[in-house]
Amino acid sequence: MMSNKVPPRPRTRVGKYEMGKTIGEGSFAKVKLAKNVENGDYVAIKILDRNHVLKHNMMDQLKREISAMKIINHPNVIKIFEVMASKTKIYIVLELVNGGELFDKIATHGRLKEDEARSYFQQLINAVDYCHSRGVYHRDLKPENLLLDTNGVLKVSDFGLSTYSQQEDELLRTACGTPNYVAPEVLNDRGYVGSSSDIWSCGVILFVLMAGYLPFDEPNLIALYRKIGRADFKCPSWFSPEAKKLLTSILNPNPLTRIKIPEILEDEWFRKGYKPACFTEEEDVNVDDVAAAFNDSRENLVTETKEKPVSMNAFELISRSESFNLDNLFEREKGVVKRETHFTSQRPANEIMSKIEEAAKPLGFNVHKRNYKMKLQGDKSGRKGHLSVATEVFEVAPSLHMVELRKTRGDTLEFHKFYKTFSSGLQDIVWNTDKK
Contact 393, 401 (CB under 8 A): yes
To which H or E segment does residue 378 belong? strand 373-382
Contact 382, 217 (CB under 8 A): no
Choosing from 140, 158, 169, 198, the catalytic residue is 140
pLDDT in tens, 271-313: 999 988 877 666 667 777 777 777 766 666 677 776 654 444 5
**Span 205-226, average pLDDT:** 90
pLDDT in tens, 72-92: 788 999 888 888 888 888 888
Largest CA distance in the chain: 71
To which H or E segment does residue 170 belong? helix 162-176
Q: Is residue 173 predicted with pLDDT exceeding 50?
A: no
pTM > 0.75: yes or no: no
- The answer to the question of whether 260 is labelled as a binding residue is no
387-388-393-396 Cα dihedral, nearest 10 degrees = -70
pLDDT in tens, 106-147: 888 889 999 999 999 999 999 999 888 887 788 778 877 899
Return the ∠ at Cα 358 (arms to 356 and 361), rounded to 5°: 100
140 is catalytic: yes
Domains of the chain: 14-265 (1.10.510.10), 314-429 (3.30.310.80)
**C-alpha 378 chain-centroid distance:** 19
Residue 338: what pLDDT? 62
- d(CA 406, CA 389) in angstroms, rounded, equals 6
